[in-house]
């Protein structure tokens, strides 16, 4: 059993490693050298094989790509549309969707595409491309393409693999090539992203591919009431922008009366403010509460030397430029070799015809003797050549037609030889000064294609919109003391005006408290207090031990907390007798003893007790048995002491809950629930303090 379990565990481990490696290398993470994922590389290779200068149905391209890509037509079609919409390597014809509105492309049978001129110029060279077997072994596909530009930075990329992810922001064509030239010249450079959607970007927190970029929509104001969105941030569509604005309007964060979308090939969304609200007031709120501003993080994970690596933008550009030099060296060497072969053959032709070697083979009676005769005849003329005459060279000479020999132009051949020698010299010069040659190539690409890729995102700096400075008391919470529900969608008498960014403290009668964001509707049990978190606010509590009947006084503040987590502020065996947040409060204790010589009541001040954390048990109030606990404000006590005491069973209204032995929760007045609403609390307190004291008879 153990051996079987071990073999199964080993099988799972091996299979998982293989699966993870496959997803990382063959699906999700792009290759550094050409900036492509496998599906993208296979699409471009299929297009290159199909290329005849005309447009092809996308459905046909998908079919051709399926020879190399084993994951179905849907993934190929989606990847092709994304490649085409980037506008570098694929020319498109038809409806390929709209990156501004988020509209999907038409079905593959309706749209067409072909390789762009840029792709043909910088992406393909069979002579230096390494090929590998396709998934079924029937075809050969390129391992990587010899890409001469840092397409990884131009296109950008996103992917999620096992245990890692990549997000590379796109950059501007001209700026990337300028940076390559700067690197080749040994000059420092900086690169910042550029997005097709345009907009404004703040790169102050962007650190060479790390950190983040804040992107904003470009919004113009027209008069005092109209705002027009012209550009949108990267990764957002016009529909997404409008949805976020409508959501903010519903929550009363942005005061817009109407939204109109006139977007076609350019973004144009018109917003009209509500009555009495100016466009300038709405502008900051759009950036604070909607997708008009987004934060974009970058994580450059690539496959380099067959391993996943995390890199910076500068490292990617430098490695891509070094790779460009290697590609150019390989191409130049092949070109020089081909020119040398051509020169060699031209020279042999001239010797063969000029010295009439073809006549020496007339008397040869078999083919081997013919070849041997030609070899002997050429030997005196090619002794100093670097390359010896091969069997293949002789075969080519013997394949010459009589027509070519009879019309041979010695002068023309010599001119061609001279021209080839000049070409070899030129190519060798490029090889000897490879960096200068690379700079010429990059400048030529920018001159030819640079005008097609102007910068669209405007680099600027803008202040962070502090939502706490913008916040209004635009959210109203209600508490229903009968059901115990609290929220913006609850009907209740107790209310609290707050903002959606406030943290709400709920203190329950059961001896617990929690901090939550303003809820729509939640059950909170019977509350003693609810209000916006104030870490300086002191809570005063009188509690009684259910078993020993001993009473305790405690004072505490709410410090650190985790939102949504319940914390106790009372021992499990205690119950709340009195609760208040008012300063300077005192409380009166009535003892249960019948001994005449002892005082029947005592008064204490909460200020005499230390303020501690919510978990402290509190200080016991004396050692005698206590019957009643009653809160007293300082003014009330002063008035009572200076007035004639008359017996009266009625009591004035209280700001705090009276949770004594005889109190009934269902009969509690609504004013007893404390909520941090300064105007209402102060007005209620004013009434309380202006009321006449209750006369009591002397006992």
Nearest to 62 by CA among 73, 78, 49: 73
Judge whether 166 and 29 are in contact, CB under 8 Å. yes
Q: Is 135 helix (H, G, I), strand (E, B) or coil?
A: coil
DSSP symbols for 274-291: PTT--HHHHHHHHHHHST
Nearest-angstrom CA–CA distance, 78 and 688? 71
- Catalytic site includes residue 408: no
Residue entry with tokens 């009535």: 590
Query: In Å, how far are 355, 375, 381, 386, 394 from 352, measured between CA atoms?
Result: 6, 10, 10, 18, 10
Locate 187 and state its tokens. 């000059």
* CA 253 – CA 245 distance, rounded (Å): 9
Residues 6+ apart with CB under 8 A from 617: 552, 554, 571
Pairing of strands 574-580, 539-545: antiparallel
For 351-381, letters b (16+ CB in 10 Å) and e give bbbeeebbeebeeeeeeeebbebbeebbeeb
- What does the DSSP assignment read for 564-630? T--EESS-TTEEEEEEE--TT-EEEEEE----TTS-SEEEEEGGGSPEE-TT---EE--SS-EEEEE
Which candidate in 22, 110, 367, 523 is catalytic? 110
Helices 434-449 and 410-432, packing angle to 10 deg: 100
Determine what percent of the chain falls in helix, strand and coil, rounding each to the nearest 5.
40, 25, 40
- Cα end-to-end distance, the chain, whole Å: 88
Helix axis angle, 313-354 relative to 391-398, nearest 10°? 60
DSSP classification of residue 563: T
Structure tokens at 629: 């606990």
Structure tokens at 378: 């050429």
Inter-residue contact 274 to 267 (CB < 8 Å): no
483 phi, psi to nearest 5 deg: -100, -20
Our CA dihedral for 156, 449, 145, 159, rounded to 10 degrees, sits at 10
Question: How far from 327 is each of 128, 149, 355, 431, CA to CA, in Å?
Answer: 8, 11, 42, 11
Relative to beta strand 56-57, strand 112-115 is antiparallel
Could you give the residue numbers annotated as active site? 110
């Amino acid at each position: 059993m153990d051996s079987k379990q071990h073999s199964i565990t080993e099988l799972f481990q091996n299979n998982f490693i293989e699966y993870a490696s496959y997803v990382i290398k063959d699906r999700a993470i792009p290759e550094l050298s050409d900036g492509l994922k496998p599906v993208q590389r296979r699409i471009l290779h299929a297009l290159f094989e199909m290329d005849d200068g005309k447009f092809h149905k996308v459905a046909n391209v998908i079919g051709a790509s399926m020879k190399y890509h084993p994951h179905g037509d849907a993934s190929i079609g989606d990847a092709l549309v994304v490649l085409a919409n980037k506008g570098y390597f694929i020319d498109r014809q038809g409806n390929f969707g709209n990156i501004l509105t988020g509209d999907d492309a038409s079905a593959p049978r309706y749209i067409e595409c072909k390789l762009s001129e840029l792709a043909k110029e910088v992406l393909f060279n069979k002579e230096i491309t390494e090929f590998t077997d396709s998934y079924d072994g029937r075809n050969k596909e390129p391992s990587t393409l010899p890409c001469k530009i840092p397409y990884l930075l131009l296109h950008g990329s996103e992917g999620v693999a096992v245990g890692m992810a990549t997000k590379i922001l796109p950059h501007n064509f001209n700026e990337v090539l300028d940076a390559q030239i700067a690197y080749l010249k040994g000059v420092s450079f900086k690169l910042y992203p550029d997005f097709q959607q345009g907009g404004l970007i703040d790169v102050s927190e962007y650190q060479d591919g790390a950190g983040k970029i804040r992107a904003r929509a470009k919004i113009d104001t027209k008069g005092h009431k109209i705002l027009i969105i012209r550009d949108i941030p990267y990764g957002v569509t016009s529909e997404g922008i409008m949805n976020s604005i409508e959501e903010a309007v519903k929550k009363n964060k942005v005061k817009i009366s109407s939204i109109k979308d006139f977007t076609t090939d350019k973004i144009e969304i018109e917003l009209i403010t509500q009555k009495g609200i100016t466009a300038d007031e709405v502008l900051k709120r759009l950036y604070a509460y909607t997708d008009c501003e987004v934060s974009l993080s970058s994580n450059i994970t690539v496959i380099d030397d067959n391993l996943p690596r995390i890199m910076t933008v500068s490292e990617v550009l430098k490695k891509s430029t070094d790779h460009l030099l290697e590609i150019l060296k390989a191409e130049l060497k092949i070109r020089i070799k081909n020119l040398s072969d051509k020169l060699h053959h031209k020279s042999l032709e001239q010797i063969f015809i000029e010295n009439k070697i073809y006549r020496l083979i007339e008397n040869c009676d078999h083919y081997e003797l013919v070849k041997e005769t030609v070899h002997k005849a050429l030997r005196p003329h090619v002794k100093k050549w670097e390359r010896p005459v091969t069997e293949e060279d002789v075969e080519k000479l013997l394949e010459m037609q009589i027509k070519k020999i009879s019309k041979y132009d010695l002068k023309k051949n010599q001119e061609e030889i001279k021209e080839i020698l000049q070409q070899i010299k030129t190519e060798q010069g490029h090889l000897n000064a490879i960096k200068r040659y690379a700079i010429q190539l990059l400048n030529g690409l920018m001159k030819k294609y640079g005008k097609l890729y102007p910068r669209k995102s405007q680099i600027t700096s803008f202040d962070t919109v502090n939502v706490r400075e913008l916040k209004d008391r635009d959210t109203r919470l209600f508490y229903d003391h009968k059901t115990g529900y609290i929220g913006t969608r609850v009907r209740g008498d107790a209310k609290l005006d707050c903002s959606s960014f406030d943290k709400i403290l709920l203190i329950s009668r059961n001896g617990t408290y929690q901090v939550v964001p303003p809820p729509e509707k939640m059950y909170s049990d019977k509350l003693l207090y609810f209000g916006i978190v104030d870490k300086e606010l002191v809570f005063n509590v009188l509690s009684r031990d259910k078993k020993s009947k001993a009473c305790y006084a405690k004072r505490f503040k709410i410090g650190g907390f985790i939102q949504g987590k319940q914390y106790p502020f009372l021992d499990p065996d205690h119950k709340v007798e009195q609760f208040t947040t008012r300063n300077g409060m005192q409380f009166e204790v009535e003892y249960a003893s019948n001994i005449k010589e002892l005082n029947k009541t005592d008064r204490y001040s909460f200020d005499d007790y230390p303020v501690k954390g919510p978990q402290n048990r509190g200080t016991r109030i004396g050692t005698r048995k206590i019957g009643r606990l009653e809160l007293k404000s300082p003014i009330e006590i002063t008035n009572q002491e200076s007035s004639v005491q008359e017996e009266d069973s009625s009591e004035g209204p209280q700001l705090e809950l009276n949770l004594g032995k005889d109190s009934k929760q269902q009969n509690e007045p609504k004013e007893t629930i404390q909520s941090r609403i300064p105007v209402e609390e102060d007005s209620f307190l004013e009434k309380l303090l202006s009321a006449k004291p209750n006369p009591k008879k002397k006992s």
